[in-house]
Amino acid sequence: MKLINESSKTKIVNNFLIGILAIYGISQKRFNLDEPTLFQKIMTEVISPVQEGLASSKQSLSSLWDNYILIVNTGEENAILKKQISRLKSDIFSMEEVRKENLRLKQLLNYSDDIASERILAQVVGWDSANEFKVIRLNKGTNHGIKVMSPVITDQGLVGYIYRATPNYADVLTILDQNNRIDVVVERTRTHGIVEGVFNFKCALKYVMRNEPVEVGDKLITAGVGGIYPKGVKVGMITDISKENFGMTLSIEVVPSVDFDKLEEVLVLIPASQDSLSMETKK
């Protein structure tokens, strides 16, 4: 045991001495600091700014590229968002149009509840623009049950009657046409007259005697005679009365109840067939 302890002590002392000598050698080491030559100084002064510029340019290009990528990504995101916004606006517009159409159709159907006829809903798809909307075309025809001479109405009032029909379309002779004559009564006084189309989206009330107490603002409704139009449908309103120096009747101007310039949907009232009428009479 003594031999082992003495050997360990000897190793420790040797290692300690070697460490001291190593530290002393490092502390005494001298580095040779050579003075740069004139050429080295010139090259350093010339090359260093170039290296500095390259480093700066590299940093700027890196920053510029990052910004470009950011701008491109932002531009793509903005384009996508614009498309989404445009689509949402279109959807909102379509929904609003559907809401308005449903409201018009509801009013139209409610208005015609008291009329005892089969009703066919149709849309206006064309008009004779050279003829001031005196003839309009509907998107329903004989395949849908449309019959010639069927009256056409809206919730605002009388439009006209079907005078021509094909399997899928029908043409309406409106009350604006001078060939369409409607037997009407003045709602307030029950005075009878005939409404005919004239010009500029207006009509004339004819065959009213000079002594009839009609006034501007009086409303006209169908009289229910003539076999085409049902009774009580709004036709128009008197807007001007002229008493001429000669003649027995008044010259009366009428504005239709229907705004033909904004006409979109109509109801076609299908009259009962003769067979149906006969069966009803037998009952």
The residue behind tokens 């030559």 is 37
Check whether residue 68 and residue 145 sit in a common domain: no
66 and 127 share a domain? no
- Domain holding 261, by residue range, is 118-270
128 & 67 share domain: no
**CATH number, domain with residue 213:** 2.40.10.340
Asked if residue 169 lies in contact with residue 135, where contact means CB atoms within 8 angstroms, the answer is no
The pLDDT score that the predictor gives to residue 281 is 36
* 145 within domain boundaries: yes
Report yes or no on 20 lying in a domain: no
In a domain, 80, yes or no: yes
**Same domain, yes or no: 222 and 91:** no
| Phi, psi of 122, rounded to the nearest 5 degrees | -140, 160
Q: Both 176 and 252 in a single domain? A: yes
Q: What is the pLDDT of residue 144?
A: 92
Q: What is the pLDDT of residue 101?
A: 60
Question: pLDDT in tens for each of the 283 residues of the chain?
Answer: 444 456 666 667 666 666 665 565 555 555 455 566 766 666 666 666 666 666 666 666 667 677 667 777 776 777 777 777 777 666 665 566 556 666 665 666 665 555 556 888 899 998 875 665 689 999 999 999 999 999 999 988 999 999 999 999 999 999 998 889 999 999 999 999 999 998 888 999 999 998 899 999 999 999 988 788 988 899 999 999 987 667 788 999 999 999 988 888 899 998 765 444 333 434 4
Same domain, 173 and 197: yes
Query: What pLDDT was estimated at residue 163?
Result: 92
Number of domains in the chain: 2
User: Sign of the CA dihedral 210, 211, 217, 218?
Assistant: negative
Provide the pLDDT for residue 198: 87
pTM of the complete model: 0.60
Please report the pLDDT score of residue 53 as a whole number.
64
Cβ contacts of 15 within 8 Å, gap of 6 or more: none
Are 202 and 250 part of one and the same domain? Answer: yes
Q: Are residues 134 and 252 in the same domain?
A: yes
Backbone CA torsion sign across 128, 131, 136, 137: negative
Judge if 97 and 176 occupy the same domain: no
Amino acid at 247: G
Claim to verify: residue 164 and residue 257 sit in the same structural domain: yes
Query: Of 63, 80, 111, which residue constitutes the final position of a domain?
Result: 111
Report yes or no on 24 lying in a domain.
no
**pLDDT the model gives residue 191:** 94
Q: Give a yes or no: residue 222 inside a domain.
A: yes
Within a domain: residue 35? Answer: no
**Token pair of 259 as six digits:** 């705004």
77 and 133, same domain (yes or no): no
In DSSP notation, 28-76 reads H-----PPPPHHHHHHHHHHHHHHHHHHHHHHHHHHHHHHHHHHHHHHH
Domain boundary pick from 75, 90, 111: 111
Q: Which of 62, 90, 111 is the last residue of a domain?
A: 111
Say if residue 97 is in the same domain as residue 217: no
